[in-house]
Amino acid sequence: MYILPDKLQIIERQNNALHQLNEIAAISDISPLETLRKALEIGKEYFGLEFGIVSHIVGEDYTVDVQSSPPDTLFDGQLFELGSTYCKTTLEIDDVLAITDVTKSKYIGHPCHRDFNLVSYIGAPIRVNSKVYGTINFSSAQARHLEYNKIDDEFMKLLSRWAGSFLERQSVLDELSLEKQKFEMIFENNASGTLLIDDSCQILMTNKRFCEIIGFSKSELVGQNAIIYYLDDISYNTAREKILNTDKSSYINMEHQLKRKDGKLIWCKFVGSQIELTKDSTAMIWSILDITAQKEMQEKLEKQATMDYLTELYNRRYFTSRLEEEVLKIKRDKNSTTSLMIFDLDKFKQINDTLGHLTGDFVLKKFADIIKKNLRKTDIAGRVGGEEFAMILPNTDITNASILANRIREEVSNKIITIDKKDINFTVSIGLTALSYDDINSDSAFARADNALYMAKAKGRNRLEQK
């Protein structure tokens, strides 16, 4: 089964929003206030709501730090009573609060609806320096057409972490401008990891937060070369090269995968600048944020966009893009060889009709497992239709590809699946072709393999044909 179009659109929309967030975070010539406002505009577009707010909450005072809203409605710095907002409930549950239509929810009669006529809302707490700072929230006077779902909740949490990290980072960068006598106190108590490293990459100072992030004690870090927390010499030297080739008057932004003392791999965001230690020596001061959770969320969303959720093989769109790459490779090098095979489960409709779709899904997953077992590291496999699968075999001629195809075919025909005490045996037909220099694009290669598959079906199924 394909990923549902509306789900795919949600995933694509999230990926676009993440890309935009990364882009605005990298822009250095706009103020922090306008950066947050642009983030709110991204969130408004994603959720389809009118108002976006980053609030700062102290006691019962709710201050609009920054907003994106229709003209003549809200303004930055506007003050409200916390109790008149949905954000009070958001802080009470300490989680995402999502209200599609307040008139059809348990929050009917809420002061925010009564006083401000806000019908739809989604918001989450923002933490800065491990403490609740306020909220990031979006709302509208109209009910939202779509119900909020788990994907929306995850994206809202990602936005709140992004906003919290952004505010943390701005706080750190502001602290760097404080006078020298306050430096050590700020350095040690910073909620972000902080490092001071000299020109030879020796660690001069570190704070307790970075020790927590990386798992080493101060005594184990200070005096050591920074290579101690890198994965290998390559990643260490790559970072050094970027630092050496960056204008010394500029901030340096880098993301690195680091290795903790316990061997666990983590992702960290480094923001650094050069400072003058003495008249004759300089050092780099780094602010470090652990962005592992953000990276994992991003990887999860990217996986959802490329994988078939049932079989955990690639979906048709991603598979086709990889096939296009192989076609271009053949055009660049006539001597390279790549084979393409398409599989179709024989009489699969009969399994669905007689035993039910759950059984059919189980059969599809079992076939996908057989494909995975026969994959080499360089091979690419995908589900390209309901019961249709395909494989790309780089650097494999059609003779060797046919050996693999027949091995898979025989393994399928010999496999018996037992479901609810019923034994199920199924077979597969296979069409095989080799990519050609004359292929205009992936469609022509697909069509040729599909014709071979049609021949296999016509000649009695459970066989391999090639063109």
From the list 387, 388, 410, 411, the catalytic residue is 387
Helix (H) or strand (E) run with residue 283 in it:
strand 282-290
Q: Are 198 and 283 in contact (CB under 8 A)?
A: yes
CB atoms < 10 A from the CB of 392, how many? Answer: 23
* Tokens 């989604």 sit on residue: 122
184 is known as an active-site residue: no
Angle at 279 between CA 277 and CA 283, to 5 degrees: 30
Nearest to 305 by CA among 289, 317, 322: 317
Catalytic residues: 387
